[in-house]
Structure 1
Amino acid sequence: MQALKRSLTTILPIFIVLFNIYSAEKCERIKIGTEYYKRQLVATIDGYPTGMVIDPRTEHIFFILHKRNYTKGIHLLKHGSLGIKELPVSDDLIGQCVGIDVQNNVIYIGTNQGILTYDYTRSEISAERPIGDDDVRNIFIDKTDNQMYITTGSSREIFRFMNGSAAVKRYDRIPKAYNFLLDSKGNAFYEYVDGRLYFFSIDYFEPIQYKGFTRELKYILELNNNDEAIVAVKGSLFKLSTKSILPVKVAQLGFKITGMAFDHKNNIVIGTKGKIYRYKPLNANDPCPADDYFMSSI
């Protein structure tokens, strides 16, 4: 009996250590801002995703797939799906961005020849809201008033749709930008065509440049669920504010970020070469949430 007790005393600590190692691997945590997240692999892809957008009604993910030296259209990863499919954009058009108007239940596809709409139920694309042959590079829909903005052409000029019609008006506050967004207060955050990040506060009369970044074309700029501007630069995430010209680093992910989007559950979807990840917040009641995505591949 004494020998058995000694054996158990020896084995038990080893078991606890192995269990802790297994748990740590299973529930690997990363701190983003003040919260801890679990990383889940959503999909493996041949290439890398950009322009990621999440439909909050369905949790479906839209993105542009880039393969080696060419772009291979806009793709859709449905929540819980086993596969990824390319949207049926006509061969003579190039899909360049996606905008989701949740209030009016419309999905817009920006192309090199105007804006199209996409219907899930029929898996069909139509041109219900054509705007001529404009080269639409980016779509932003302001959640506070549902105004839709587009960035057009190689010069990256910004226009706003007027009163839900097909008429557009130049947005003079930001004449040109690669990337731009407005928070609920009306503060603008954007990457100007000089490759630098700026903010235009409602409290000031001119834009102000952020310091601390080297000239980095094509920043990935998004609003999180706390109405904060988050920018991805290489492998890091930074929070932007109108109170300081210095961005605040909130995370280092360890790989080059090519796409980023926030869903309505405060999850962060991140794209990189070959993979799409989802970062899910952890809490004391659910320290290791289940993976509710099937792992997809393309």
Structure 2
Amino acid sequence: MTAWKYFSVLAPISLIVSGLGEKCERVKIGTEYYKRQLIATIDGYPTGIVVDPRTEHIFFILHKKNYTKGIHLLKHGSLGIKELPVADELVGQCVGIDAASNVIYIGTNQGIVTYDYSRTEITAERPIGDDDVRNIFIDKSDNQMYITTGSNHEIFRFMNGSAAVKRYERIPKAYNFVLDSKGNVYYEYVDGRLYFFSIEYFEPIQYKGFTRELKYMMQLNMNDEAIIAVKGSLFKLTTKSILPQKIGQLGFKITGMAFDNKNNIVIGTKGKIYRYKPIDSNDPCPADDYFMTSI
């Protein structure tokens, strides 16, 4: 069985031709060109996208009209999407993958539970804490795990791999944040403004050029750069300028974003999940190695 190929219209479109005469479109993001692949069609829209770097499986939260329908799993190469079997009394709200320790964490309204692919049910028999966990961030440089809790979006850090947490003083509250390997923090404060807190400064600095968006999609790419999605555009954040650098325009509203360990970009929008794969000049039309699936 071969993967389904999907070619869509983006403006502008550039075509390149392989040695066999096969055409494929190119989308420029930053200094690289990417091929877009449709890997899933869904009834709703995905947020909170996370990619397991060990397996390339994709986790996301499915939203339909006025309600949220759980955390879903799209396995690499699979023809189906399944909802994670979270117990009825729990509400799955985010996913964090600690690849170094081989653990998948699910943040719920009643603490953190762990998940493995063989589980038939996820229960809260031994949850980590009892907080309302809205977001999980795992620092790849030291494997520390951070959580954002409750409606106030307060941030805590787990201490020395234990279940004990300590408030993260550098950012008392944030809707979304990432921490690069140098210790610089990029975050969206609860008022909808975007800031960075450099290790070279004593206080955070606000980025200019954005209105109060609330719920930016923010991730680190493989180059340890902070990338955010705003409506249909991608921007790179640095500590050298208060103006975000626009690196791409995708032509549709982005609802979720994640980078895998090959620097592919998984993008969610209403009704679809795409993968953007860097184009190698020696292989201008890389094969579609995902099966297109639907839910």
TM-score by length of 2: 0.91
The answer as to whether partners of 2:47 and 2:62 remain within 8 angstroms in 1 is: yes
Pick one of 233, 236, 255 that aligns with 1:239: 236
1:175 matched to 2:172: yes
Distance 1:78 1:123, change over 3 A: farther
Pick one of 47, 54, 64 that aligns with 1:67: 64
Q: Where does residue 11 of structure 1 map in the other structure?
A: none
Which has more helix, going by share of residues? 1
Deviation at 1:284, TM superposition (A): 1.4
Pick one of 76, 82, 101 that aligns with 1:85: 82
Distance 1:126 1:163, change over 3 A: farther
Pick one of 155, 159, 162 that aligns with 1:158: 155
Letter in 2 for 1:199: F
Letter in 2 for 1:290: A
1:10-53 deviation line (CA, Å, top 9, x unaligned): xxxxxxxxx97xx9994111100000000000000000000000
CA-based RMSD of the aligned residues comes to 1.5
State the distance in 1 between where 2:21 and 2:178 align: 38
State the structure with more CA Rg. 1
Q: Where does residue 185 of structure 1 map in the other structure?
A: 182
Percent identity of equivalent pairs: 85
1:135 matched to 2:132: yes
Letter in 2 for 1:132: G
Q: Where does residue 36 of structure 1 map in the other structure?
A: 33
State the distance in 2 between where 1:121 and 1:26 align: 40
1:204-226 deviation line (CA, Å, top 9, x unaligned): 00000000001111000000000
1:225 matched to 2:222: yes
Q: Where does residue 10 of structure 1 map in the other structure?
A: none
Pick one of 196, 199, 204 that aligns with 2:196: 199
State the distance in 2 between where 1:24 and 1:153 align: 54
The answer as to whether partners of 1:117 and 1:129 remain within 8 angstroms in 2 is: no
Deviation at 1:128, TM superposition (A): 7.3
Structure 2: gaps of 5 or more residues: 1-15
Q: Where does residue 97 of structure 1 map in the other structure?
A: 94
Runs of 4+ residues over 3 Å off in structure 1: 23-26, 126-129
Instruction: Please give the secondary structure, in 2, of the residue aligned with 1:46.
Output: coil
Instruction: Please give the secondary structure, in 2, of the residue aligned with 1:125.
Output: coil
Q: Where does residue 7 of structure 1 map in the other structure?
A: none
1:281 matched to 2:278: yes
Instruction: Please give the secondary structure, in 2, of the residue aligned with 1:244.
Output: coil
State the distance in 1 between where 2:166 and 2:232 align: 36
Structure 1: gaps of 5 or more residues: 1-18
**Relative contact order: is structure 1 or structure 2 higher (C-alpha 8 Å, sep ≥ 6)?**
2
Aligned residues: 278
TM-score by length of 1: 0.91
Pick one of 56, 63, 70 that aligns with 2:53: 56
1:43-74 deviation line (CA, Å, top 9, x unaligned): 00000000000000000000000001100000
Letter in 2 for 1:114: G
